[in-house]
């Protein structure tokens, strides 16, 4: 078990992570869990939002590319679409 520095007011530090936070804050471990879960949920929500923006941006770029192909290469698109429709796999 790690000991706190000389002159520290609270008890020993229990390893690292949540135990250390509990000892240093003087709180029970169970009191910290809702706060930690809330922070984790917020981080995951932000990551989800960022992923959604990336997906939406990619879809928008593909749509622009498709529209450009429809304007600049209509014969090739017609040929590829007929080939795709005739493929029975």
Per-residue pLDDT tens digits for 27-70: 555 555 677 778 887 887 888 888 888 999 999 999 999 999 99
**For residues 30 and 15, which has the higher predicted lDDT (pLDDT)?**
30
pLDDT for the residue 13: 47
Q: Rounded distance, CA 13 to CA 10, Å?
A: 9
Residue 55 located in a structural domain: yes
Q: Rounded distance, CA 40 to CA 2, Å?
A: 27
Query: How many domains does the chain divide into?
Result: 1
Answer yes or no: is pLDDT of 87 > 60: yes
Q: Which residue has the tokens 């229990």?
A: 14
pLDDT for the residue 29: 53
pLDDT for the residue 37: 73
Residue 6 located in a structural domain: no
What is the extent of the structural domain holding 72?
A: 18-86
Token output for 87 = 């493929």
Residue 39 located in a structural domain: yes
pTM (global) more than 0.75: no
């Amino acid at each position: 078990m790690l000991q706190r520095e000389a002159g520290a007011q609270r008890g020993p530090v229990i390893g690292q992570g949540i135990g250390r936070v509990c000892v240093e804050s003087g709180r029970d471990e169970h009191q910290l869990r809702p706060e930690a879960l809330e922070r984790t949920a917020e981080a995951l929500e932000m990551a989800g939002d960022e992923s959604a923006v990336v997906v939406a941006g990619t879809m928008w770029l593909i749509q622009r590319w498709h529209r450009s192909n429809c304007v600049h290469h209509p014969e090739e698109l017609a040929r590829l679409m007929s080939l795709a429709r005739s493929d029975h796999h």
